[in-house]
Amino acid sequence: MSFGQCSNNASYRYRSLVIGMLSLVSLLGVAACSQNNEKNSPTGHSSSISGVIYCSESNPGFFNPQIDTSSTTSDASAHQIYNRLLDFDAQTGRIIPGLATSWLVSKDGLTYTFQLRRNVAFHTTEYFQPTRNFNADDVIFSFQRWLDESHPYHHINGGLYPYFDSLNLAQTIKSVKRINGYRIEISLFQRDSSFLANLATDFAAILSAQYAQHLSILNKPSDIDFLPIGTGPYQFKEFRKDQFIRFTQHPQYWQQTERPQQLIFDITPSSSLRFAKLVTGECDTIAYPSQTEIEVMQANPKIIVQEAPGLNIGFWAFNTSKAPFKDPKVRRALALAIDKSTILDAIYFNSATRARSIIPPASWAFSADIPDLNYNPVKARQLLKEAGYSNGFNMNLFAMPVVRDYNPDARRMAELIRTYLAEISVTVDIQTSDWDKFRSDLSTGKHDSVLIGWSADNGDPDNFYRPLLTCAAIPSGTNRAMWCHPEFDATVNAAIATDDIDERKAFYQTANEIIAREIPLMPIAHAYRYSVHNDNIQGLTINPYGGIRFANVRESR
Amino acid sequence: MLTTLLRYFNLIVITLFILLLISFSLAFFFPGEPYTNLTGNILLEETVGPLAQAFREGNIFQQFWYYAKNLSMGDWGVSFSTALPLYDKIFQTLPATLELTFYAATLSLFIGIPCGMLAGFLHHKKTDYTFMSMSMVMVSFPVFWLALLLILIFSLQLNLLPMSGRLSLLYDIPETSGFVLIDIINSTVPYRYAAFYDAIQHLILPTIAVSFITTAVFLRTTRRAIVDVMATEYIKTAQTRGLPFYVIFSRHVLRNAMLSILPLFAIQISTLVTNVMIVETVFSWPGIGHWLIQAIYERDYPAIRIGMLLVSSIVVFFAMSLECISRLIDPSRGNKQYA
Amino acid sequence: MPDVNLYDDEFHPTPWQSTWREFKQSHIALVGLTTLMVFVVLAILGPLITPYAPDLQNTSALILPPAWHDNGSVLHLLGTDVLGRDMLSRIFYGIQVTFGGAVGAVLFALIIGTTFGAIAGMTSGVRSSILNHVLDTFMVIPSLLIAIIIVAILGVGLSNAVLAIGLALIPRFVHGTRNFVKEEFGKDYIKTARLDGASSIQIYFKNILPNMIDVIIVQGTLAISVAILDIAALGFLNLGAQTLLPELGVMISEGLATAYIAPWNILLPGLSIFLMVLSINVVGDGLRSALRNRMSQ
Amino acid sequence: MILLDIKNLTLEIESNGVLVKALDKASLTLEEGEIRSLVGESGSGKSLIVKAISGALPPRWIVTADRMTWRGQNLLTMNRAERRKIMRRDIAVVFQDPMAALDPSSTLKEQLTESIPEEFVEGRWFWQKRRSRLDIARSLLHKVGIKDTQYCMDHYAHELPLDICQKFMIAMALVSQPTVLIADDPTRGMETNTKRQILSLFKNLNKTRNLSILFVSHDLVAISSMADKITVLYCGQTVEDGPFQSVRKKPFHPYTKALMDSAPSFSPDLQPKSALIALGGTIPTLQHLPIGCRLGPRCPRAQKKCVETPVSRKINQHTYRCHFPMHLDDKGII
C-alpha cells in the first residue's frame, strides 16, 4: 500500500518548485558564458547618504608624507589632510600659491621670504580641538622637525625623512626665521633652482604646532603621525588596517570647493577586485587600474577614463654592490638578454612608451639621441663568457608585490624575464613578500636585482637623477642599484647649480650617457597615467605627478 | 540522563584540553622562537612576566601553565604584522564568521530538510529522482568556483548584488555586538533602514554560496534516513493498524529519521566552516577565515595559533553538544552499546 | 530463456560480480564511470597528448578566447591565459596534478586510517573509548584549518597540501573502519573463529579485511572527491600548489586577474574540477547503493 | 457467518527473470467466533498470507485469487481508504516480534492512545478527550493482564520485558474492538508460563468477546490447547484443512501425519530413547520448487501421479489435496 496517490496535488506543487530550481541552475550556465552584455545602472549605494568611495591598493604606513615616501601614504594624507606652502597647477605644472599667498626670491637666490595666508582653520576632531588658526609657528615647526636633529619631534616614529635626505635639503637650508605672525624667511647656503619645486611636492606638508604641544603634554607624541591634524579639505576619522580609512569633510576649509559629506578609502589589494568593484558601483574611483582592463573600461559608457603621459620610469635595477653585478659587462649582458618590446606588450599592453633612459619624454630635459639596447642573446652570452660566467649563475629577482603605474604586474614581468634569462643559462629565483617587508629587505640590500620604478614628485628633472642614482640616495633607500659614481654625482650637482635651461639640459645629457655606459639599471618603460571613475562623481582631474586629489570632487547623483 | 550529561561534559573538557595542548606544541613546531610564536613579542632580557621567566628557566610545564593562565585572562598575544593585541582583532572578525555560518546553516536547514523529507517520502518517483540528481550536482560544486560564478553572473553581468564586504562603507555603524544586522537594528543612526537593506544585499550571495553545498548534503541525508525508517517493521505495523497517514508520518517517521541524522549534522558543521572560510576570501568578508588566510601569507604565527585554537574549539563544542543532545532525546540510542 | 547451464550446478556469482551486476542497473552510474575513466586516462596520459608544454608562453596569442568563440583560433582549442599559455594543455596537466594529488592523499589517509580504525575497533574498555572520542573530535575539525597549520609548519607546496588533506581525511576512515570492525566482531562467524583459538590479528586479516574491502572502496571513492575539492581550494588560496605547478585551483586564482575580460580562464578549469568530482560522486554513490542492494537481497 | 473467505490465492514474484509462485492456490476460511490455526514450517508462506490479508505486501508482489472477501466485500478491488478502514475497525494483527513492532522513539502511552479511534472517546474539550483516552488505555491494559500500567506506559519498548510488550501489542490490537484477530506466531521464543498466559488470554478473549482468531504458528502444543480448526500449509500450498481433532487423529495428507508425529507430546506410546520420526530431505527454496505436489520428492508415498498438482477434495469439512491420502481406501471412505 504505497502512499504515492494520496498526496498527488502536493507533489504537483513541489514539482513546479523543482523546475524553478532547475531553471536557476541552467541560468547559471547560460549567463556565465555570455560576454559583458549591456548592463543597467550600477546599484552601488543609494542616494540617501552622500560620500565618495576610493578603492586604494594598500595600507598607508603613516599619515604623514614627511616620513614615508610611498605613494599610498601620500595619497591618504598629503592631498586630503595637509596643505603645502606652494602647489602645482594640475594643467600647466607651474607653481601656484598654496598656504603662502606670495613669495620673494633675493637676487643671489639665497633667501626666500613667504607671505602666509590668513584665517586658515585646522581640523577639529574628537582627539584634538584647535584654538587658533594657521600661522608662521606651524610652518617653523613643520620645517624644523626634519631640519634640526635636536628638535623634540625629530626622532618620533623613526626619525627618517627619506625624501629630504635623498635631496640632502638639510645641508642646503641654512635657517628658517619667523619675521612676524604671517611672514617667514628661509635662507640657503648655495643656489638651488629646484628648491621652490621641492617645497611644492607632497612631502613638504604643514603640520599643526599647537597639536604637537597638546600631544607632548599628554606625552603621546607618536600620535602626530597616526592621528593627523592638518588644514586640508578632509579630516581624519578612522583607520582599520587592511579594511578602510574614513575621512569627513572639513567644514571651515579655506578654499570654497563643493565636497562630499565623507571620503572613504576601501583598501582592496587585488587590481581585478578593484576593477570589479568599479563595475558594480561599490567604488566610485580606483587606484592603478591594470592595463588589461583599460580597454574594457573605455568600452563601458558608465566609466570615464582619463589618460595623461606619466612622469615616471619603470626599471630593472641590479644591486651593483654584490659580486656578479659589480662588473658592467655582466649588467650589459643581462640587459641585452631581455626583449623589451614583448615585455611592453605582455605587461603594459601598449599603454606605455619604451624607455631609453630614466628621464621620461614628458619632461623638458628629455633628449631623443640616447643609444638604446635591443634584444641580442648571442652578444649577451658572449659578454657573459668574457666576464668569466660561461656556464651562467643564479640570482634572485625581487618583484614588487603592489601595483604601480610604472610596473602594473612586476610578478608576471619577473616570470617573463626568467624565461629569457634561462636561455643564457642564468637561473632566476623570484621573491616577493608583503610591501613593508619588501621595502625593508630592499633598503638592507638583500636583493640581487629588483623590478621597481619611480614616479616624479615635481616637474624638475633633478627629481629623477638625484633620488635614483646619487651616492647620497643609497642610505635613504631610494637608490635601489646601490650605485655610487663620483662623475655622475658631479654632473647632477652642477645641473642644479645653474638656472639656465639649456646648460642644465647639457648636464643631464652627459648623465644619460654615463648611465647608458655603466647600466646600473635597465630602464624599461614610461607608463601613461590613468584616472578612472564612474559617472557617480565629477571634478576628478588627473595629476601629472601621480597621487589622487579629492579636493574639488563632487557627487553628480 | 545526568550521567550522559556528565560524561559529555568531561569529554568536551578533555578535548578542549587536548586542543590547548596542540596549540601550545604548535609554537614549538612553527619556525622561529617558541616564545615569540606564543606571545608575538621577542623574548628580550628585560621582558618581565611569568611566561618569559618560565621560558628562561626552560621548565615546560610552567610555560604551559602560564600560557593557559594568560589565555584565560584574555591576553592572547600580539600579532606579528600589526603588533595589535589579538584579542580585539578576533572579536572583530569572529562574529562576522559566526553570522555567515548561522545564516547559511539556517538556510540549508530550512531548504534541505523539507526537500529531503519530500524526496524520501515520494521515493522512487519522479520528484525523488529530480531531487537526487539535483543534489548530486550541487554537492560536486567546488565552493570557490561557485562563489566566482555567482559574482560573475549576479554582480558583474546582471549588476544586481554587491560583491564584497559586509556593508557599504558609506554607512558608519558603531560595532556593538559584531553581528552586522544586530548592530544596525540597535544603532540610532538616521539612515538605519537603508543600511539594513544594504546589509541584506551584501549577505545574499555569500549565504547562497555557502549553503548551496550544505543544502544538498542535508537533502541527501534526510532522504536516506526517511527511506530507511519507512522500510522498518514498526512503520509497517503502524500501517497495518490503519493509522491515518499524516499521524504516521509526522509522529513516527519524522521523529525517528531526525533522531538518526542529528549526529551526522555534527560532521556537517566542519564542512560548513571550511566553506565559510573559503567564501570569505572570495567575497572579502571580514571574517576570521579571511584574516587567518592573510595571516598565513604574512607568516603571522601567533594569529594562526590562536585562530586555530578558537575555531576548532568552537566547532568541537558545537559538534559535541549536538551529539550530547541527540543522545539525550533519543531513548533508543541507550540500548546500543557505545563504540 | 536463461542461458542453459549444462552442468546444472548453481551459478553463484562472486560478491564482486553481483555488485557489478547491481551497479550496471543504474545508467547514470555507468555514465559516471565512463567520464571517470576518461579523467583517469587524462590523468595518466595527459602530458603525452597535450599540444604544448604547460608553461610555454606564446606571446603572440595573449588572452585568446576558446576556439568556438568568434575570434578564437583552432591552434589553442580552449584559448590562452594572460601569459599566452595554452589552456587545453594546462588543464590536462592540471588534471594530472589535482587527481594524482587527491589519490595520493586518499591512499595515505586510507592506510593510516584503516589501521587506526582496526586497532580502535578491536580494543575495548575506557582507554579505547577515550581514544575513539578524541579521533571523532578530530573528524570535526575543518580540513582547511588543518591545512593552514601544516602550511604554516612546513611551508607551501603541493606535497604539503597533499599531506595536510591526507591528515584531514584520516578521521573519516578511522570512524568508518571502527564502526565496521565493532559490528563485525559482534557477528557469529567471528565468534566461531575466536573459539578456534585465532588471535584477533589473524581474525582481522583473514575474516574482517576481505569483508571490509567493499566498505573501504566506497569510502575511498567519496574521499577522493572531497580531496580533489580541498586540493583545488588550497591551490586557489595559493596555500597548496604554487604558481609554478599547473594545478586547477591555481589556474582559477590566476584567471581571477582577468576575470571580467576573459571569464573562460575561470570557467574552464572550474568546469573540469566540477566534472571530475561529479563523476567520482556518481560512481561512489552507485557503488554504495549497489552494495546496499547486494547486502539486502 | 463466514467472515474471511480466501480461495485459490496465488502470490507471484519476479526473481531474476522468472515468475515464482510463493503461494500456490492457498485457500482459507474463517467463521465468526472460531479459532483457526494456520500451521506450516517456517518459510512456507504463513506470514505472506497474513501480509496479503492486511494489505502490507510490497508492490513487487503480483496477487491473484478466485475469491478474497471480507464479509462479502472483495478485498482486492477495494480502494486503499476502505481497506484501511476495515483494518482499523474489524481486523487486528499481532506480529511476531513486539520489540520491532513498536516505535523505539515514543513511549507506549503515546502509541496506545494514538490508536484509540475517535468514536470511543467522550468529552468535548481536548483535556477531557485525553483523560478518557487514558482511562480506555488503562482498562485495556488491565484486561490483557498488565498490572502496573503506569510504569509500562511511561517507558519505551526496549526497556520492558518481551511478554509485557506482547501483551501491550495485543492491547493495541483490541483497542478498536475488532471482530477478527490475526496472531502471527505471538509466542515465539517465550518461556512456557508466559506462553501459557498469552494463550489463555486469547482463549478467554474468544469466549468473552466472541473474537475469532487466526492463529499462525508452527508450535503444535500451543495450537492443540486452543484451536477449533486447523489448516496445514506446505511450500505455499494448503495441503489439509479441517477440525483439529479429526485432523489430529486421522490426518489424510502424509505431510500432516509427519507434522503430527514430530510433536513428541502427541504420541503417548513413544518409548524413551527412541528415534524421533522426521521426514527426509529439506524444504525446497523458492527457485527450485518441484512441479505438481510440492511434497513429491520427500513424500514416502509419492508415485508418478503426484506430478500433477492434486485437486482439493472435501469429506465432511475435512479437505485435503493428495492423490494417495492415508486412512482412506481409494474410494474415499474412512
Give yes or no for a contact between A408 and A528, defined as CB atoms under 8 angstroms apart: no
Rounded CA-CA distance A306/A90 in Å is 13
Q: Please check the confidence at residue A286 and state whether its pLDDT lies above 60.
A: yes
Rounded CA-CA distance D150/D154 in Å is 6
**Residues of B in Cβ contact (< 8 Å) with A18:** 127, 130-131, 134
What confidence score (pLDDT) does residue A45 get?
47
pLDDT-derived band at C3, boundaries 50, 70, 90 = low
Q: Which residues pair with A354 in a beta bridge?
A: A525
Q: How many CB atoms lie within 10 A of CB A487?
A: 10
Is residue D23 classed exposed, middle or buried when 0-12, 13-18 and 19+ CB atoms within 10 A define those classes? buried
Q: How many CB atoms lie within 10 A of CB B114?
A: 14
C-alpha cell at A545: 605627478
Rounded CA-CA distance C279/C276 in Å is 5
- Kindly write down the DSSP assignment for every residue of D228-260, as one continuous string: SEEEEEETTEEEEEEEHHHHHHS--SHHHHHHH
Per residue in D65-116, pLDDT (tens digit) is 888 888 888 888 888 788 878 877 888 888 888 888 888 888 888 888 888 8
The upper half-sphere exposure of residue A424, i.e. CA atoms within 13 Å in the direction of its Cβ, equals 27
Rounded CA-CA distance D95/B232 in Å is 13
Q: How many CB atoms lie within 10 A of CB D189?
A: 9
What confidence score (pLDDT) does residue B71 get?
86
The average pLDDT across D254-261 equals: 81
Q: Which residues pair with C239 in a beta bridge?
A: none
The mean predicted confidence, pLDDT, of chain D is: 81
Is residue A263 classed exposed, middle or buried when 0-12, 13-18 and 19+ CB atoms within 10 A define those classes? buried
What confidence score (pLDDT) does residue A25 get?
47
Q: How many CB atoms lie within 10 A of CB B48?
A: 7
Which residue is listed with cell 521515493?
Answer: B123
pLDDT-derived band at B275, boundaries 50, 70, 90 = very high
**Residues of D in Cβ contact (< 8 Å) with A4:** none
CA dihedral A505, A509, A514, A516 (to 10 degrees): 140
Q: What pairing do the DSSP bridges indicate for beta strands D35-40 and D212-217?
A: parallel
DSSP A556: -
What confidence score (pLDDT) does residue B66 get?
86
pLDDT-derived band at B218, boundaries 50, 70, 90 = very high
DSSP C67: T
Q: Please check the confidence at residue C172 and state whether its pLDDT lies above 60.
A: yes
Residue A272's nearest CA partner among B135, B155, C79 is: B155
pLDDT-derived band at A19, boundaries 50, 70, 90 = low
CA dihedral C243, C245, C249, C253 (to 10 degrees): 20
Give yes or no for a contact between A526 and A313, defined as CB atoms under 8 angstroms apart: yes
Q: Please check the confidence at residue A499 and state whether its pLDDT lies above 90.
A: no
Q: Which chains touch A (3 or more CB pairs under 8 A)?
A: B, C, D
What are the boundaries of each domain within chain D? 2-238
- B195, D251, D258 from D229: Cα distances, Å: 83, 13, 18
Say which residues have a Cβ less than 8 Å from residue D106's Cβ, sequence separation at least 6: B251, B252, B255, D156
Per residue in B13-51, pLDDT (tens digit) is 888 898 899 888 888 888 888 888 888 777 777 777 777
Residue type, D22: A
pLDDT-derived band at D334, boundaries 50, 70, 90 = low
Rounded to a whole number of angstroms, the distance from the CA of B197 to the nearest CA of chain C is: 27
Per residue in C81-100, pLDDT (tens digit) is 877 888 888 899 999 999 99
C-alpha cell at B81: 604584522
Say which residues have a Cβ less than 8 Å from residue D320's Cβ, sequence separation at least 6: D239, D240, D241, D242, D252, D253, D312, D313
What confidence score (pLDDT) does residue A160 get?
82
DSSP D121: -
**Residues of D in Cβ contact (< 8 Å) with B240:** 54-56, 87, 93
Interface B-D, measured as beta-carbon pairs within 8 A, has a size of 64
Give yes or no for a contact between B264 and B127, defined as CB atoms under 8 angstroms apart: no
**Residues of D in Cβ contact (< 8 Å) with B330:** 105
Print the SS3 string covering B58-99.
Answer: CCHHHHHHHHHHHHHCCCCCECCCCCCEHHHHHHHHHHHHHH
The average pLDDT across A62-77 equals: 85
C-alpha cell at C65: 578566447
pLDDT over 70 for what percent of chain A?
Answer: 91
Residue A140 main-chain phi, psi, to 5 deg: -55, -50
What confidence score (pLDDT) does residue C5 get?
56
The average pLDDT across A459-481 equals: 82
What confidence score (pLDDT) does residue A37 get?
38
The mean predicted confidence, pLDDT, of chain A is: 82
Structural domains in chain C plus CATH codes:
26-296 (1.10.3720.10)
Residue type, B118: L
Exposure string over B263-275, b if 16+ CB within 10 A, otherwise e: bbbbbbbbbbbbb
What confidence score (pLDDT) does residue C6 get?
59
Q: Please check the confidence at residue A5 and state whether its pLDDT lies above 50.
A: no
Q: Please check the confidence at residue C181 and state whether its pLDDT lies above 50.
A: yes
What confidence score (pLDDT) does residue A10 get?
40
Residue with the larger pLDDT of the pair D266 and A374:
A374
What confidence score (pLDDT) does residue A16 get?
47
Residue with the larger pLDDT of the pair D327 and B144:
B144
Rounded CA-CA distance C149/B18 in Å is 16
Q: Please check the confidence at residue C134 and state whether its pLDDT lies above 50.
A: yes
| Helix residue ranges, H only, chain C | 15-25, 27-49, 87-122, 126-140, 143-154, 158-186, 188-195, 200-203, 209-236, 248-255, 264-296
Exposure string over C247-276, b if 16+ CB within 10 A, otherwise e: bbbbbbbbbbbbbbbbbbbbbbbbbbbbbb
The mean predicted confidence, pLDDT, of chain B is: 86
What confidence score (pLDDT) does residue A31 get?
42
Which residue is listed with cell 633607500?
Answer: A477
Rounded CA-CA distance D171/D145 in Å is 9
Give yes or no for a contact between B322 and B266, defined as CB atoms under 8 angstroms apart: yes
Q: Scan residues 167-196 of B and list those with Cβ closer than 8 Å to C.
A: none
Which CATH number is associated with domain D2-238? 3.40.50.300
C-alpha cell at A195: 628648491
Q: Residues in chain D whose beta carbon is closer than 8 A to a beta carbon of chain B?
A: 54-56, 84-89, 92-93, 95, 97, 100-106, 110, 114-115, 156, 158-159, 172-173, 176
Rounded to a whole number of angstroms, the distance from the CA of B21 to the nearest CA of chain A is: 31
Q: What pairing do the DSSP bridges indicate for beta strands A244-249 and A234-240?
A: antiparallel
Which residue in B130, B155, B169 is closest to A266 by CB distance? B169
Q: Please check the confidence at residue A28 and state whether its pLDDT lies above 50.
A: no
Does B286 touch chain A if contact means CB atoms closer than 8 Å?
yes
Query: Is C267 in Cβ contact with A296 (below 8 Å)?
Result: no
**Residues of D in Cβ contact (< 8 Å) with C2:** 16-18
Residue C139's nearest CA partner among C105, C101, C167, C107 is: C167
Does B155 touch chain A if contact means CB atoms closer than 8 Å?
yes
The average pLDDT across A442-471 equals: 84
Q: Please check the confidence at residue C212 and state whether its pLDDT lies above 80.
A: yes
Kindly calculate the radius of gyration of chain C based on its CA atoms and give it in whole angstroms: 23
Rounded CA-CA distance C44/C92 in Å is 10
What confidence score (pLDDT) does residue A259 get?
84
What confidence score (pLDDT) does residue C1 get?
47
pLDDT-derived band at D310, boundaries 50, 70, 90 = confident
pLDDT over 90 for what percent of chain C?
Answer: 21
Nearest CA in chain B to C178: B339
The upper half-sphere exposure of residue B43, i.e. CA atoms within 13 Å in the direction of its Cβ, equals 18
pLDDT over 90 for what percent of chain D?
Answer: 0
Residues for chain B: how many in total?
A: 339
Nearest CA in chain C to B146: C270
pLDDT-derived band at D167, boundaries 50, 70, 90 = confident
What confidence score (pLDDT) does residue B333 get?
58
Rounded CA-CA distance A54/B12 in Å is 47
Residue D211's nearest CA partner among D84, D2, D29, D31 is: D31
